[in-house]
């Protein structure tokens, strides 16, 4: 499973990138707005920092507007993947962008059927939001498993990005489910690294060493 960071913060992305395992980045309008910076400039900086797909979302909700924004975003860098919300206009845009050779990430996916339609329309990636499913007392991981089984069964070449990750167990569950990618917030990546037994082990090794040398 490849690991993306779900962030638009350059410092966070730079720090995690320096750890050597980062495969890509996803952003969304909320994350970008938090930075208060020029959108295209920010996406360009991220693309120059990380060698991998960088998802940047359209703000327009109508087909023509999505197409206009998507072309501008895709022109920033070859690694830009245009994030398109799963609506009727979104499906039209995904299909047209596929024909233009622009990669898309179908976002705000909450059902297997939405993922099937996005894949058939030509999305390069689908992003099921498992945390937001859990938030309304349904099982986000179960949705992820079903969706992966379906896409695998029909050998659709769309890749699954497990998104809306809330805690480290979501990442493990995504890996067990066979997700191609998991996009993880900065704080959860930090939690994944830490283990109390690793800390205790380091302390004991250091103390034993210092007692003799």
User: Which residues of this chain interact with ligand E4P, rule CB under 6 A?
Assistant: 6, 26, 28, 107, 127, 129, 131-132, 163-164, 183
* Element counts in the chain: helices (H) and strands (E): 11, 8
- In the residue annotation, 83 being an active-site residue is answered as yes
DSSP 52: S
Closest contact distance (angstroms) between CB of 197 and ligand E4P is 29
Per annotation, catalytic residue among 83, 145, 190, 194: 83
- The position carrying tokens 């299909």 is 95
How many C-beta atoms surround the C-beta of residue 200 within 10 A?
10
Closest contact distance (angstroms) between CB of 155 and ligand E4P is 24
Closest contact distance (angstroms) between CB of 116 and ligand E4P is 19
Minimum CB distance to ligand E4P smaller for 39 or for 129: 129
Minimum CB distance to ligand E4P smaller for 59 or for 206: 59
Compute the chain's Rg from CA coordinates. Answer: 19
Closest contact distance (angstroms) between CB of 83 and ligand E4P is 7
In SS3 terms, 94-159 reads as HHHHHHCCCCEEEEEECCHHHHHHHHHHCCCEEEEEHHHHHHCCCCHHHHHHHHHHHHHHCCCCCE
Minimum CB distance to ligand E4P smaller for 33 or for 200: 33
How many C-beta atoms surround the C-beta of residue 129 within 10 A?
20
Minimum CB distance to ligand E4P smaller for 5 or for 112: 5
Closest CA to 10 of 28, 103, 37, 2: 37
Annotated catalytic sites, by residue?
83
């Amino acid at each position: 499973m490849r690991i993306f960071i779900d962030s638009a913060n350059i410092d966070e992305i730079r720090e995690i990138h320096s750890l050597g395992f980062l495969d890509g980045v996803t952003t969304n309008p909320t994350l970008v707005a938090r930075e208060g910076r020029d959108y295209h400039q920010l996406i360009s900086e991220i693309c120059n920092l990380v060698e991998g797909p960088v998802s940047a979302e359209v703000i327009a909700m109508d087909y023509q507007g999505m197409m206009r924004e998507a072309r501008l975003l895709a022109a920033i860098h070859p690694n830009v993947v245009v994030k398109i919300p799963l609506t009727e206009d979104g499906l039209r845009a995904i299909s047209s962008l596929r024909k233009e050779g622009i990669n898309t990430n179908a976002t705000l996916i909450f059902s297997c059927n939405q993922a099937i339609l996005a894949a058939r329309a030509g999305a390069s990636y689908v992003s099921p939001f498992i945390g937001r499913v859990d938030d309304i007392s349904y099982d986000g991981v179960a949705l992820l498993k079903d969706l992966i089984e379906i896409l695998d069964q029909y050998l659709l070449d769309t890749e699954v990005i497990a998104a809306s990750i809330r805690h480290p167990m979501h990442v493990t569950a995504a890996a067990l489910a066979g997700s191609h990618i998991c996009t993880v917030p900065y704080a959860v990546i930090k939690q994944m690294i830490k283990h109390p037994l690793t800390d205790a082990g380091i302390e004991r090794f250091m103390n034993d060493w210092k007692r003799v040398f």
